[in-house]
Amino acid sequence: MADLLETAVNAGNFTSLVKAAKAANLIEILKSPGSFTLFAPTDEAFANLPEGTTLELLLQDIPKLKKIVAYHIASGDVRSDDLVQINEAETIEGSIVAIESANGKFKVNNANVIKTDILTDNGVIHIIDAVLMPAMVAGS
């Protein structure tokens, strides 16, 4: 099995996320042996960022970009069975994401989880349809 990074690269629809993770110097975490949960926004989610926020602009503000990418990574292997039982998860950025479960579907903050439980050597990926913004970044 591949690690979180290899799995995201091989999927082909996370090029923006991978580019952001590389620029933010978070590749080592996605390759590390620890167990992590990656809430992975698709390229389409990055394309739908609010006006005035694009990946190109974020690439010019690495500290901000690092907070945003780290906000998509939670410690531990949190699968859909676990998502049903929790209402929040702490990210490696230090903030909490809200987890909502209803009728077999999940939301992370305002993002819909469109695919769950993509297993990797060092954790699990859940695909989401929006880029998550930590409160301190969203307000700036």
Q: What is the DSSP string of 55-82?
A: HHHHTT-HHHHHHHHHTTEEES---HHH
Query: Can you give the residue ranges of every domain in the chain?
Result: 4-133
C-alpha separations of 101 from 106, 108, 115 in Å: 5, 9, 14
pLDDT of residue 139: 52
Provide block-wise average pLDDT over 10 residues at a time, the chain (140 residues): 95 96 96 95 94 88 96 96 95 96 94 97 97 76
pLDDT at 138: 58
**Closest alpha carbon to 40 in 30, 50, 54:** 30
Q: Three-class SS of residue 127?
A: strand
Q: Which residues pair with 128 in a beta bridge?
A: 41, 113
pTM: 0.95
- pLDDT for 82-95, tens place per residue? 999 999 999 999 99
Topology given in CATH for the domain delimited by 4-133: FAS1 domain (2.30.180)
